[in-house]
Every structure is written in structure tokens, then in C-alpha cells.
Amino acid sequence: MLSKENNELLTRIGPGTPMGAVMRRYWIPVAFSASVDTPDGPPVRVRMLGENLVLFRDTSGRIGLLDEYCPHRTASMFFGRNEECGLRCVYHGWKFDVEGKCVDMPSEPPTSRFREKVRITAYPTHEAGGLVWAYMGAPELKPEFPELEWTLIPDSHRYVTRHIQECNWLQGFEGGFDTSHLSFLHAGAVDNRFKVVPGHYELVPQPLGFVAGTGRDLEDGGTFWTAAAMLAPFHKLIPSDPIAAHVWAPIDDENTMLYSIDFNPERPLTEDDLRRSKTFNGIHTENMPGTDRAIQNKDNDYLIDRALQASGRSFTGMKGLGVQDCAIQESMGPIADRTKEHLGVSDTAIIRLRRQLMQLVKDQIDGVTVTPPPGSAYRLRPTRFTARPGESFADLFEDKMRAG
């Protein structure tokens, strides 16, 4: 369990909070590039880390991410005109470029130099993996962009969706490393319970997180291992076919934008590869048209089918791995009360995850600069392998997980 004080430290990510300051030291996905694919096209609302922002692509193709509220009279820049390399507020015509500089102030006298003193908050952006990413921390501390393998491959080699998870980011992130739930929540038919419960748990520290190994004993005395990666502050790489990944990007304290990715570094994904994803039986969810909210959500109890659950053909009565995860994680409340927990051996990865995040928070509080590792440190590939009798997970995983 966690103390109330530490639970608050880990979950609160708004401006001025220690974990919020940690988050702002990393690159964060904020939107699909396709949402602003047209120069001088309409701006898009973004909410991230408790801040309301607007995203736009200017005349020359550069992407700007600005505070939603004009620094003149705090009107929303969402209604602004995207024109001639800047976003112009429709209230009084003040115009700002992608760097936040005021480039025109027609409401002031022609001789005025007032615009030189006015800026709007603007964050650097980077496009990769079909997404727009933002860096929201101190400009002088901007790190290298993380070289996540799924962001470096052609568009045809990956499939990305997103939806809003209606709970705190840490609930989703921890759920991604709760390995024993796979044998229950995602068991499928009731008779499948206990058949794949892990017998071994290994954690190996990395510069940016850890590698979590779960092992199952084989009849010949060997061990079948799956190796997933936790990459600070909110990434997971999942060994599967295709390979999978998640990003839990905090919208605010009680909402998370969950990005789900399938990818194959070696070749384009086929329709057969994506059959499970596109029928929403895997990690992806089906959203209400034109929104980021899942059709199966807390307001309709995730469309749970009690008759199906009672039949034994489904352990949960809910369709889709992603829906099952969100249902349980959201059921804990907007922010889980971790003072009530009782953790066991199977929760080893969750305990480690909390410790590593807490260390980042303590460093932030103590004035130690949180420094993300070089971009190349993110070049890990999750994997599955068999260890012969006497071979350890720690001795084998590293060579098998290095990507590119």
C-alpha cells in the first residue's frame, strides 16, 4: 500500500505539482498529426497535464501548441484564425506565431511597441509515429526525442488508436504491469483460469525504467519468459504478435489519453495481423464516432453481458482486452485510494514501478534535475524466449531486447 501523502504525490500532475514537473521533463503525445494535417487549417483543442491548449499547423507547415487563452482578455484561441504563419485571436486581432511571439497587435496604435512585451505560452513540438508530441518543461532542459521503435518505422508498419480512460494515469500504467490479471480478467472462458499463471517474476533495472520478466515452468525443466519494458514516465512495450505498446498520457488528474499501438518493425501490417484489433477484441477500443470516448464506458457498465458471463464462455462478460482493463481500472474511482491495498508477490512490478516514480518525485522535490536518458536508450524491443535449465532471465534478456 501507499501512504495518502505518497499517493497524492504520484497521482497529481497539474502545474506546480512535483509529479507534474517530472512529467514536463519528457516528450508527451498530444494529438494525431492527421488532426492538423492542413496548413492554415482549423486549430484543435488539446488538454494535457491539466492545461488547456490549442494545436495548429501554420502556413509553412510548422506546428504550434499554444495556451488556449489569449493573454489580452483571455478569449479562447480555439476560435482564432489560422493565417499567414500565425494564429489570430478573433476578439481583438492579436496574432501569435508557433513560438508564442505576438507578431501583430492591430488594436494598438501603429507606433506602439507593446506587442514586443507580450507572449503567449507555447510549447515545442515534434512529429513522430503519426503523432504530435510536445515538450512542456523548461526550454533549457529539453531532452532528446525518445527513439521508440514504433515511432521510427513506416506508417504501414504500425496501427495506432487512442481513447480517453476516465481515471488517473497511474491506474492505467500500473495495470499494464499487473501480470497475474492476464490469467483472470483476460482469461476468456472460465475454464481457462489458472492455466497460464506465471510462476516466476524478474525485474531488471534500466536507465529509464525496468524490464519485467514473467516466467512459466516447462516440462523439460526450462522456463518460458515474456519480457516487457517499462519506460519512464508512461510507456509500456508488450511482447506479442504484432508487437504492442501503450502510452498513458495524463490529460489531468482524473483523465488519461491512452494510446494503443500494434507494430511490426520488419514489414507492413496485414489485415490478418490487425483482425483482432479492428474487431476490438484486443487492446484497442471502439470509440463513439468523432470522439475519443469508448462506446463501452462506465455510463453503460461497459455493455457487460451478464448472461454471457454466467454461461462460463466469458470470465467477465465484457468484450475486448482494452475494455476489460479500463472497466477494472476505472472502477477503482477517479484516483484510486492505495492506502487500502494489500500487495503480494505477483505485484512485484507494480511495487518497483511506484518506487522508481517516487524516486523521480523525491529528486524533483529535493532540487535534483530529473534528466531523461538519451533517445537511444528507448530502443528496446519486448520479446519472448525459452531459457534452458540453469539459465537465468537476467543473463539472456538484454541481447534479445535490443532494437535496431
Strand ranges (DSSP E) for 5-121? 27-32, 44-48, 51-57, 63-67, 81-82, 87-88, 95-96, 102-104
Contacts with 183 (C-beta within 8 Å, 6 or more apart), sequence order: 192, 193, 194, 195, 196, 197, 198
What is residue 136's three-state secondary structure? coil
CA dist., res. 117 & res. 16, Å (int): 25
- From 227, 174, 172, 234, select the one nearest 209 (Cα to Cα): 234
pLDDT tens track of the chain, all 404 residues? Answer: 799 999 999 999 999 999 999 999 999 999 999 999 999 999 999 999 999 999 999 999 999 999 999 999 999 999 999 999 999 999 999 999 999 999 999 999 999 999 999 999 999 999 999 999 999 999 999 999 999 999 999 999 999 999 999 999 999 999 999 877 766 777 766 665 555 556 788 899 888 899 999 888 888 889 999 999 999 999 999 999 999 999 999 999 999 999 999 999 999 999 999 999 999 999 999 999 999 999 999 999 999 999 998 998 888 999 999 999 999 999 999 999 999 999 988 888 999 999 999 999 999 999 999 999 999 999 999 999 999 998 888 888 877 887 66
Q: Are 68 and 269 in contact (CB under 8 A)?
A: no
State if pTM tops 0.85. yes
Which residue has 463513439 as its cell numbers? 288
CA dist., res. 347 & res. 352, Å (int): 9
Burial of 384 (0-12, 13-18, 19+ CB in 10 A): middle
Dihedral-angle region of residue 15 (phi above 0 means left; psi in -120 to 50 means alpha; beta otherwise): beta
Domains of the chain as residue ranges with CATH? 27-141 (2.102.10.10), 149-401 (3.90.380.10)
Q: Are 183 and 197 in contact (CB under 8 A)?
A: yes
- From 291, 255, 251, select the one nearest 28 (Cα to Cα): 251
What is the DSSP code string of 103-125? EE-TTS-TT--GGGG-B--EE-E
